Amino acid sequence: MHLVPTHSGLEVMSLSAKEEVYASAEVAHSAASCTPHLAQGHGEVVTLAPLSMCVLLLNQVCIVDEDNNVVGKADRAVMDYCPGMLDPMTGGVVQFGEPMDLSAAREAEEEMGVKGVELRYLSTFYYGDERSRVWGGLFDCTFDGPLVLQEEEVAEVLEMSADEIVKRRDEFTPDGIFAFEKYLKLLEAEAEAGF
């Protein structure tokens, strides 16, 4: 069984090797914000499932500027997950068949215009609450170029210190602040190890 993004949601399908479907960026991106349909066979819908029942594969990228400020964002109020909340990370849903690192680079460029920099893979994490369950890939990068915002998703850019983000944690998306705090712990461990 495969979880396949479609225009009508995420469908669970039994696919042969010849029938493997690789979703386009548009379909996979929209699938993250819709009510998935749990289906059997080839599109026979058996039930609707809230997004909270699905485990999504996400990437989270912490973008830091040369002054060591985190370049976060305020999400648009039209987003299905935590509309209008702040997010210390850039990222999104990994497309079916897409490598995590390429997905992270794609999302950083789509949402913030970040390109031409190396993304550093740090860790994988699991996060779950009543709204969502995700396996996330955690990345970071340093970027000082011009930002180009994805108007459909990003309302504004925030440049904040790590301390300010932690103090204002309740204003941030739950999965974003979870990933950010994991990021800070990894940086602390690197510093203690002399990296």
Provide the pLDDT for residue 73.
Answer: 85
pLDDT higher than threshold 80 for residue 78 = no
Distance CA 181, CA 8 (A): 34
Query: Model-level pTM greater than 0.75?
Result: no
Provide the pLDDT for residue 133.
Answer: 83
Q: Which residue has the higher pLDDT, 42 or 155?
A: 155
Provide the pLDDT for residue 130.
Answer: 84
pLDDT tens digits for range 35-64: 343 333 344 444 555 555 566 788 899 999
pLDDT tens digits for range 100-133: 999 999 999 999 999 999 999 999 999 988 888 8
Q: Where are the domains of the chain?
A: 2-49, 53-192
> Given this structure, which CATH class describes domain 53-192?
alpha beta
Provide the pLDDT for residue 54.
Answer: 64
pLDDT higher than threshold 60 for residue 14 = no
Average pLDDT in the 151-170 region? 92
Residues in CB range of 58: below 8 A, 6 or more apart: 91, 92, 93, 94, 134, 135, 136, 137, 175
Provide the pLDDT for residue 25.
Answer: 30
Distance CA 105, CA 156 (A): 20
Q: Which residue has the higher pLDDT, 74 or 20?
A: 74
pLDDT higher than threshold 70 for residue 1 = no
> Confidence class of residue 97 from pLDDT cuts 50, 70 and 90?
confident
CA atoms within 13 A on the CB side of 136: 26
Distance CA 156, CA 153 (A): 9
